[in-house]
Structure 1
Amino acid sequence: MEYSTIHSIFTVVLFVGFISFVIWAYSKKRKTDFDKAANLVFDDEQTAQQKTKQESDHE
């Protein structure tokens, strides 16, 4: 095999992998998981506020 043939096959494999990843990322099955992950930052803020409130209640 020539270098250009191997390079072409590798390019096609990477392109198919990229398209597969995009389809996986935007599938409706994954939406709930990604929504939960997106809101994790806000969950930390609520937990910190609750801890602060509990500490002030104990004093």
Structure 2
Amino acid sequence: MEYSTIHSIFTVILFVAFIAYVIWAFGKKRKADFDQAANLVFDDEQKAPHKNKQESDHE
């Protein structure tokens, strides 16, 4: 095999792997996981006021 043939096969393999990764990442099964991960930022903000309130009750 020539270098260009090997390079072409490798390019096709990487392209197929990329398409498989995109399908896996944006599949419907993963949507719930991504929605939960997206809301992690807001979970911190909701817990913070409760923590401060508890600390002020002890003083």
What TM-score comes out, normalization by structure 2 length?
0.90
Gaps spanning 5+ residues in structure 2: where?
none
What TM-score comes out, normalization by structure 1 length?
0.90
| Match of residue 43 from structure 2 | 43
Equivalent residue letter for 1:53: K
CA RMSD of aligned residues (A): 0.9
| CA–CA distance in structure 2, aligned partners of residues 4 and 45 of structure 1 | 55
Gaps spanning 5+ residues in structure 1: where?
none
| CA–CA distance in structure 2, aligned partners of residues 47 and 9 of structure 1 | 52
| CA–CA distance in structure 1, aligned partners of residues 36 and 8 of structure 2 | 39
Percent identical across equivalent pairs?
80
Shift of 1:45: 1.4
Shift of 1:2: 1.0
Task: Report SS of the residue matched to 1:33.
Answer: helix
What is the number of residues matched between the two proteins?
59
